[in-house]
Structure formats: C-alpha cells, structure tokens
Amino acid sequence: MPQASIIVPAYNTAATLTETLASLLSQTHDDFEIIIVDDGSQDETPAIARAHATDPRVRVIRQENRGLAGARNTGIAAARGEFVGFCDADDLWLPEKLATHVRHLQAEPDVAISYSGSAMIDEGGRLMRVRQSPRLRDVTAAHVLKRNPIGNGSAAVMRKSALLDLAYRPAFETKRDWVFDETFRQSEDIECWLRLMLTTDWQIAGVPGLLTRYRIHATGLSAALDRQLQAWERMVDKLRPLNPEFFARHEAAARAYQLRYLARRAVSNLDSQKAWELAQRSASTSARPLIEEPAKTLTTIIAAAALRAVGPASVVQAGRLMRRQTSI
Amino acid sequence: MSKITVLHLVDDTTAGGVMRMLDHLSQLPELADEVHQEVRPVKRTAFSWGSFDADVIVCHIAPGWRCLPAFSALRAMHPTTRLVHVEHSYTRSFTALNVPHKRRFFAMLRVTYSLFDQVIAVSKAQAGWMAERRLAPASKLSVISPQVDLSAVARAAGPVEAARVIGAIGRLEPQKGFDLLIEGFRMCPNPEARLVIFGEGSQRDRLMALAAGDRRIEFRGHADDPAEAYRAVDVVAMPSRWEAYGLVADEARAARRPVIVSMVDGLRDRIGASGVIPCGSDPKAWRKSIEAVLAGTPPVVPVLALKADRSRYAQRWQQVFDPAKRL
C-alpha cells in the first residue's frame, strides 16, 4: 500500500495535465500513488490520463461529471494512502512538496491538514510575482473563515483519518461517501476546511516555502464574481447552525475580507465598476480588514479607485500597486 | 477493618449532574461497609486547595491554566495518596467548538492529567478522544460512565404508544443545541405535533424568539420533578453540540421514552441501544428525525435493569477506591 495518495481532479484539462503529472511523478517522496479522476472530460484528457497509466504509480478513474468536489470525493474513496494530497490538473507541485508535508504530518499527530504557500503562474505557465504566503501556525477557525490560509485547492495534504471524520452519505448518494459537499460548485474547499475546524478537534498547520504553483485563469466575467460571493454566503448559511456564537463574532469581518478578495479579482479583470462596488461594500461591511491588514486593504481601495477614476489607462499603476503587495 | 476514606473535590462551577452523580455514589449500599466518602467543595482558581487526610482523592474539577497551580499543589501535598481525576467537562466536540488554540489546550490537559494516578473518562467516546490526542497514557485511562438514581423516573413511567409530544430537557445553553431542535421542529408541518422544553438558562430569550409564532412550542421552565417532565412527553430530544456523557439519555430510557440524540461525544456510546435514534447536527436532520418518529410507531424501550447496572457501577468504583480490588 502506498503511504500517500495524490488526487488529481481533471475536467477538460488536456492543455495542462501532462505538466501537472510530470511535476507529481518527480516528487522526491518515494512511496505514493496518483489517482487521476477524469470528471467526464470531453477533450483529450482521457487519452492523456491513459497514456500515463502505464506508470505503476498512476491510476485513472473516469466518471460522469460531478464537479470538483465530486471528483475529489471519488479520489478519496479510492485512495489507499495514509496521507492524501490534492492537486488540480492545471497546478504544479515542487519536487519536495509531498515529502515535506508527510514529514510534517508524521511529526505533528494532531494536525489534520498540512499546507504551504503558493507561487502564482499565468495561463502560459510563467511565474507571476504574486504569491500566497499564508499564516502557518496557531491557525484558528476564525483565521480559516476570514483568510483561508490553505489558499487554493492544490496546497493541502491531509491525514486520511481526518478526512474520514468528515465523511457522510446523503440519502440519495448510492456510490460512496462525501467529504466535500458536492452541492457546492464554488467555495467547496473553504466549506470543507471550516467544517473540519467547527466539528472536529483536528488542527491545521502550514510549512514554510512556496511548494505549489497555482495557475491563475483570467475569467473576466463579473457574473463569475457574483456567483462566487453567492457560494460563499451559502457556505456561511450552511455552517452557521454548528456554532452561531462563532459566526456572530466573525461573520461580518470574514464577509469584508471575501468582498475585498473579490474586489481585487475585479481589479485584475479591469472591471472598474465591479471593483469599486465590491471595495465599497467591503469597507462598509466591517473595518476589520483595514485594522488587521491596513496596507493590503488600502491598496485594494486605491487600485479600485484609480481604475474607476482614470479607467483602464490606470491599469499599469494599479497593476504595480497590486504587485507591490504581491499576494491575493 | 478500617474503612477506606475517599474525598471528592468539587467546586462551585461543577455541574448539577455531577452533584447528583456524587449523591448517588456516596449512598451506594454496595460500598457502604468498606468506603467512607466525603464531598469537599473548594474554590477552583485558589492557589492551593490545601492538604487532606484521605486514602483516595477524586477530583471532579474542570482543568484549566488558572487552576494548574492548585492541581500541582494537590499532587505535591499528597505524594503517596492515590489521586484520581474524573473528566466531566472536556470532549472532542467541546474542543472543536470552544477552543481556538487547540495545541495549548491539549498541552494543559496533558500536564494536568500527568499529575494523577488515574484518569477516568465518563464515556467510551471521550476515552477514545483522550487516547487519540495522547492526553493520558492508556495505562492510566479508564471509563466509568456516571449514574444517578433513576428509580423515581422509572417508577413513574410506562411505555409510549404514539409519538406526538417531543420533549427537550436541560439547561437553555448553547451546548444543548435546542436552537437546532426548534428550527427543525418548525419545519415539520404536522399540526398535532408538540415541542415541550423544560429548563432555564442564558439562551432563554433567543430560543423564545426562535419559537415565536409557533403555538405548538411551549417553554415550561425548570422541572422540579424530572419524573413529571418525562411523563409529559412521548419522545426525548438531545440535540447537544457536545456532551461528555449525557445523563438525560439514561433518564429518558429509564422512563421508557425513545430518545433522539446528536452523534457527538458521549452520546455516541448510546448509538445502537434500543430506543436511541441518532441524528445529525443541523436543523434539517432534526426535521427528518422528528417527522420519522412522529409518523411511525415509536420504538419500544424495554425496562432497564437498574439494579444490575447499579451493582456493576459500584464494582467499578470499588476498583478505583480499593487497591486490593484493582486489576
């Protein structure tokens, strides 16, 4: 039995899957399996996945499209490792990532999720100057709700026993348990991590370094940002009954952070109206981001304001400001 | 032969359930000949609780950083006395919901438990959690679930034929999760159904606001006679967010009432027992469980063998108190 399983949810990712798999197959850790879950792709993904299955470490599972959460759940059900990592089929792992997290989880038996920071790459795979350098120690549920230190879907390696503590089976599900809630098409990560924090006594902790390369896709659609906000609100509505006092204390600040994040996304999309609206809503929802992270919050407001006042011509300045902060 | 003297340390924050358990334990006829038990209230956060003359000291006080000096002094002042701690408060779900900095909290518990010769968990689930988090070594850890005198409740009750009245009995505090129950109950359209809530507490106004406008829900305040409360309901609901043991489940079963329990901590120990219906921890799950129990014939809860349970319980404590009986 392999000690670790890396789950690769893949949906129409022919352009990037080979590169992702190459980064996983060159992990320095010597005992792992890769489970590619082809989530009903219509492009060349199945063929690329099959071609890699000649490597004894690689398995491919194909299913009708169930979304990212559904692909991960299928991967978890098939995983044989004591440790389970996730890497989306367009992201990359640095060679020492798995070994680092396995060591960390072995040294800290009360830690369920080990994660690291990420460096962003663009659609062409070029390293951007933006990075995610999250808090690594003393992470509370409030940190997860407000700033989600795990950051993205390819940053975490988890203890399988902790995943099983989260597993449940909806009445209509006939195949296997759910760990991620498949009714979510966005915010499925944060929903799962926060549920872990609110219903179990597992801890989460990070290791230093930017061990993931996380690909940023320019969506450009303000409707996508609205959907993202809706999913986030649904996540909060779902989890609130677990601990109403916790949400009463932290919900407004967390919403302000979420709106600030979306405002920054809108700035990157050059959507001046949306960026301004979101920045304004963030500021009027709670002053916590301004107090806790003044530089980043002010940069967001200035970038949104500049974009609005000068229009796309200010992109360069706004871009510079965003890059000086070099995180999203 | 002189009697073994046992001192139970409690403090003013010790829950009512613990005091009832100690009343019952002190009066067990099975122990009366060999053991002399005393209950001593102390101030939890005092620097030291003093020096006591006893063969065994059983501590029922919830550990915490602020009472660590007193716990340490207890060990220092009684180097040869057998020190036993009963963990009535802390559980996996308690930690999940109340402890932001878990690492520090576990460190505090490990230090505290290391001062004792024996640590008693009040449920198997709690003991499993203590073992998984390495809070106490397996050699020190045992499980004795608390008991109270259930004879009055058992005498007053008979089997339930039809389920119509759901009852919730306990303090109106976030721990008890009555908010989840009220929200779930409100989603059940059945006009005949009733929800009766016995108890007082800090959440009273909030719960009444949640129930406002639904005339099927009634708050009856503190039940002076528990037997009366159980008789007034057909099914008991325990939507607790955490629960080291959960005596209400035993009382409900003694009263031959089916009991719906959330699947947390000590309540997990009861899953599989007759008349115990497990339920998820959100309003929708409660709605489903309530509708199912109202629609069907309620499960029959057999008469509990209270006397046999009691003598097993006495035997377990005898092993704690009497070095000759220890395995």
Phi and psi at B262, nearest 5°, equal -75, 155
Amino acid A324: pLDDT:
53
Give the mean model confidence (pLDDT) for residues A100-122: 96
Amino acid A252: pLDDT:
97
Question: pLDDT-based confidence at A315, cuts 50/70/90?
Answer: low
Cα–Cα distance for residue pair A17/A215, rounded to 1 Å: 12
Phi and psi at A326, nearest 5°, equal 45, 45
Closest chain B residue to A194 measured between Cα atoms? B96
- Across A181-200, b (16+ Cβ under 10 Å) vs e yields bbebebbbbbbbbbbbbbbb
Cα–Cα distance for residue pair A326/A118, rounded to 1 Å: 12
Instruction: Quote the tokens at residue A225.
Output: 């940002």
Cα–Cα distance for residue pair B236/A39, rounded to 1 Å: 45
The predicted-structure confidence for B285-321, as pLDDT tens digits, reads as follows 999 999 999 998 888 888 888 999 999 999 999 999 9
Question: pLDDT-based confidence at A323, cuts 50/70/90?
Answer: low
Which of A138, A197, A199 is closest, CB to CB, to B101?
A: A138
Give Cβ neighbours of residue B15 (< 8 Å, ≥ 6 apart). Answer: B88
Distance from CA of B80 to the nearest CA of A (A): 33
Lowest pLDDT segment from A94-108, A167-181, B13-27:
B13-27
Return the percentage of chain A with pLDDT > 90, whole number.
Answer: 80
Residue A319 has pLDDT above 70, yes or no: no
Amino acid B324: pLDDT:
77
Instruction: Quote the tokens at residue B116.
Output: 């004792």
Which of B100, B133, B280 is closest, CB to CB, to A110?
A: B133
A241, B133: Cβ pair inside 8 Å? no
Among B90, B103, B126, the strongest candidate for a mutation testing the A interface, having the largest count of A CBs within 10 A, is B103
Give the mean model confidence (pLDDT) for residues A75-81: 97
The predicted-structure confidence for A189-243, as pLDDT tens digits, reads as follows 999 999 999 999 999 999 999 999 999 887 667 788 999 999 999 999 999 999 9
Instruction: Quote the tokens at residue B139.
Output: 């050699």
Cβ-contact B181, B247 below 8 angstroms: no
Give the mean model confidence (pLDDT) for residues B265-291: 94
Instruction: Quote the tokens at residue A83.
Output: 């440790």
Cα–Cα distance for residue pair A320/A173, rounded to 1 Å: 49
Residue A328 has pLDDT above 70, yes or no: no
Cα–Cα distance for residue pair A116/A135, rounded to 1 Å: 9
With an 8 Å Cβ cutoff, the interface of chain A facing chain B consists of 109-110, 138, 140-142, 168, 197-201, 203, 238, 241-246
Q: Sketch out chain B's domains with CATH numbers.
A: 4-148+308-325 (3.40.50.2000), 151-295 (3.40.50.2000)
Return the percentage of chain B with pLDDT > 90, whole number.
Answer: 87
The predicted-structure confidence for B94-145, as pLDDT tens digits, reads as follows 999 999 999 999 999 999 999 999 999 999 999 999 999 999 999 999 999 9
Amino acid B81: pLDDT:
96
- Residues in chain B within 8 Å Cβ distance of A140: 100-101
Distance from CA of B82 to the nearest CA of A (A): 30
User: Helix A244-268 vs helix A294-310: angle between axes, to the nearest 10 degrees?
Assistant: 40
Residue A51 has pLDDT above 90, yes or no: yes
B100, A142: Cβ pair inside 8 Å? yes
Predicted TM-score (pTM) of the model is 0.89
A242, B281: Cβ pair inside 8 Å? yes
B positions 250-279 inside 8 Å of A (CB): none
User: Taking all residues of chain A, what is their mean pLDDT, rounded to a whole number?
Assistant: 92
Domain boundaries, chain A: 4-215, 222-325
- The maximal CA–CA distance of chain B, rounded, in angstroms, is 66
Strand B194-198 vs strand B217-221: parallel, antiparallel, or unpaired? Answer: parallel
State the DSSP string of B287-316: HHHHHHHHHSPPPPPPPP-HHHHHHHHHHH
The residues with which B194 forms a beta bridge, in sequence order, are: B165
Amino acid B106: pLDDT:
97
Distances in Å between the alpha carbon of B224 and those of A180, B170, B221, B281?
46, 12, 9, 29
Amino acid A317: pLDDT:
56
Amino acid B186: pLDDT:
97
A110, B96: Cβ pair inside 8 Å? no
Give the mean model confidence (pLDDT) for residues A160-169: 93
Cβ-contact B157, B256 below 8 angstroms: yes
Give the mean model confidence (pLDDT) for residues B212-219: 96
B281, A243: Cβ pair inside 8 Å? no
- Residues in chain A within 8 Å Cβ distance of B179: 241, 244
Is B97 near chain A, with CB under 8 Å? Answer: yes
Instruction: Quote the tokens at residue B243.
Output: 């629960």
A225 class by beta-carbon count within 10 Å (0-12 exposed, 13-18 middle, 19+ buried): buried
Which of B96, B180, B283 is closest, CB to CB, to A201?
A: B96
Amino acid A33: pLDDT:
98
Instruction: Quote the tokens at residue B14.
Output: 């010790």
Give Cβ neighbours of residue B163 (< 8 Å, ≥ 6 apart). Answer: B234, B235, B258, B293, B294, B296, B298
Closest chain B residue to A195 measured between Cα atoms? B96
Amino acid B299: pLDDT:
85
Amino acid A147: pLDDT:
92
The predicted-structure confidence for A231-277, as pLDDT tens digits, reads as follows 999 999 999 999 999 999 999 999 999 999 999 988 888 888 999 99
ipTM of the complex: 0.82
Give the mean model confidence (pLDDT) for residues A83-88: 97
Is B183 near chain A, with CB under 8 Å? Answer: yes
Strand A32-38 vs strand B56-59: parallel, antiparallel, or unpaired? Answer: unpaired
Residue A316 has pLDDT above 60, yes or no: no
Amino acid B159: pLDDT:
83
Cα–Cα distance for residue pair A52/B258, rounded to 1 Å: 56
Distance from CA of A161 to the nearest CA of B (A): 11
Distances in Å between the alpha carbon of A313 and those of A217, A221, A319, B243, B311?
22, 19, 11, 60, 84
Distance from CA of A273 to the nearest CA of B (A): 38
The residues with which A8 forms a beta bridge, in sequence order, are: A36
Is B55 near chain A, with CB under 8 Å? Answer: no
* Domain A4-215 CATH superfamily: Spore Coat Polysaccharide Biosynthesis Protein SpsA; Chain A (3.90.550.10)
Distances in Å between the alpha carbon of A142 and those of A7, A175, A192, A245, A286?
28, 34, 14, 12, 15
Question: pLDDT-based confidence at B327, cuts 50/70/90?
Answer: low
Closest chain A residue to B96 measured between Cα atoms? A201
The predicted-structure confidence for B140-167, as pLDDT tens digits, reads as follows 999 999 999 999 999 887 888 889 999 9
Question: pLDDT-based confidence at A322, cuts 50/70/90?
Answer: low
Cα–Cα distance for residue pair B214/B235, rounded to 1 Å: 19
Cα–Cα distance for residue pair B56/B84, rounded to 1 Å: 7
Cα–Cα distance for residue pair A141/B97, rounded to 1 Å: 9
Residue A156 has pLDDT above 80, yes or no: yes
A110, B97: Cβ pair inside 8 Å? no
Amino acid A313: pLDDT:
64
Distance from CA of B12 to the nearest CA of A (A): 25
